[in-house]
């Protein structure tokens, strides 16, 4: 089994060296053994673990959720109910964010559609930004 330096681990996983060090500092990656010259050495399990972390981050999972999912992945015979719960909570958060972004998009689209693009004194963009009550979703 060949061990990888941090640079080779970065190449193998597409994760930058500072990010690998960060993951070690927050406990997502275990502290690796070091050579006599203090160089970190990583095994293939670390490559798999780092790919898992990278994919989870790309999917938007937070560090604490990834830590919990990694802990569960190390116990393959346990129920996946908790992992499912983490993913469902994340999906709900994504849906909430999409709803907020959709409302924001609608607001800006409406603001632009109503703007005569003439003079600043009649600019709907400036008017809406200056007075929240002109927003579609204004809380009155």
CATH 2.40.50.100 assigned to domain 6-78? The reply is no
One digit per residue, the tens of pLDDT, for the chain of length 140 reads: 689 999 999 999 999 999 999 999 999 999 999 889 999 999 999 999 999 999 999 999 999 999 999 999 999 999 999 999 999 999 999 999 999 999 999 989 988 888 888 888 888 888 888 888 877 765 54
Domain residue limits, the chain: 6-78, 97-134
Q: pTM (2 decimals)?
A: 0.81
- Residue 82 CB neighbour total at 10 angstroms: 13
């Amino acid at each position: 089994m060949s061990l990888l330096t941090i640079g080779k681990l970065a190449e193998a996983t597409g994760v930058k060296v500072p990010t690998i060090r960060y993951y070690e500092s927050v406990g997502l990656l275990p502290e690796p053994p070091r050579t006599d010259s203090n160089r970190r050495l990583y095994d293939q399990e670390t490559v798999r673990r780092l790919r898992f972390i990278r994919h989870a981050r790309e999917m938007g999972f937070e560090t604490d959720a990834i830590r919990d999912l990694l802990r569960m992945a190390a116990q393959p015979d346990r129920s996946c109910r908790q992992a499912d719960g983490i993913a469902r909570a994340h999906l709900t958060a994504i849906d909430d964010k999409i709803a907020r972004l959709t409302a924001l998009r609608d607001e800006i689209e409406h603001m632009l559609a109503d703007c005569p693009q003439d003079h600043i004194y009649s600019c709907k963009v400036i008017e809406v930004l200056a007075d929240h009550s002109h927003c579609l979703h204004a809380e009155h």
